[in-house]
Amino acid sequence: MIKAILKKMYRILKPVELPTFQPEFGGSGITEDCYRWIVENISPGAEVLEFGAGLVSTPKLGEIFSLTSIEHNEQYIGQFNSNYIHAPLSKWDGWYQRDKVEKIKNLNFELAIIDGPPGSGNRFGILLNLDLISKIPIILIDDADRPSEKILLQLLSQNLNSEYTDFGHFAVITNRL
């Protein structure tokens, strides 16, 4: 009897397809231009690192690359197809707790995307943790049109002794290595 009811319910419910999630570009996420630059310049399947997971970069890049996402907010861990690293923000410098992100040094990333921690002027901590990205050939800074992130871009490029290309909303440092 129960089996018959379940079979009937299954027949009714089966055709109901849930709408698939379609992330929108921009907002707090990366822009379409930025996404296009990444897919045109990084080989599919490459190891990609992002600081700051979200609704745009994480689902979209997670489909194409082997993505690692460093995220401070536990609420957003595991939302999409990425190797999430939960790294709460340090009370000292407002950047990700170093011991939580240490393990990324063992991976060979082709690209690092700096899009976190959230908020203008909150990303300078990367300058105190340069060894984490110093062997990554391409470093993309999102929101490079904001005054603080523009300064961060210039400081990062000086400290890495490398040139950058400014695309407006984002900029790319080609790391001299």
Site residues for ligand SAM per CB under 6 A:
28-30, 50, 52-58, 71, 73, 76, 115-116, 118
Q: Which is nearer to ligand SAM, 40 or 161 (CB)?
A: 40
Q: Name the residue whose CB lies closest to ligand SAM.
A: 54
- We find the least distance from the C-beta atom of residue 110 to ligand SAM, in angstroms, to be 17
Task: Please give the helix or strand (H or E) that residue 83 lies within, else none.
Answer: strand 83-86
- We find the least distance from the C-beta atom of residue 61 to ligand SAM, in angstroms, to be 8
Q: Which is nearer to ligand SAM, 57 or 68 (CB)?
A: 57
- The residue among 102, 100, 103, 75 whose CA lies nearest residue 87 is 100
* Whole-Å CA distances, 66 to 4, 24, 37, 114: 44, 21, 17, 17
The rounded distance, in Å, linking the Cα atoms of 163 and 102 is 26
The rounded distance, in Å, linking the Cα atoms of 70 and 117 is 9
Q: Which is nearer to ligand SAM, 116 or 173 (CB)?
A: 116
Q: Which is nearer to ligand SAM, 52 or 173 (CB)?
A: 52
Phi, psi (rounded to 5 degrees) for 83: -85, 95
- We find the least distance from the C-beta atom of residue 137 to ligand SAM, in angstroms, to be 20
- We find the least distance from the C-beta atom of residue 4 to ligand SAM, in angstroms, to be 41
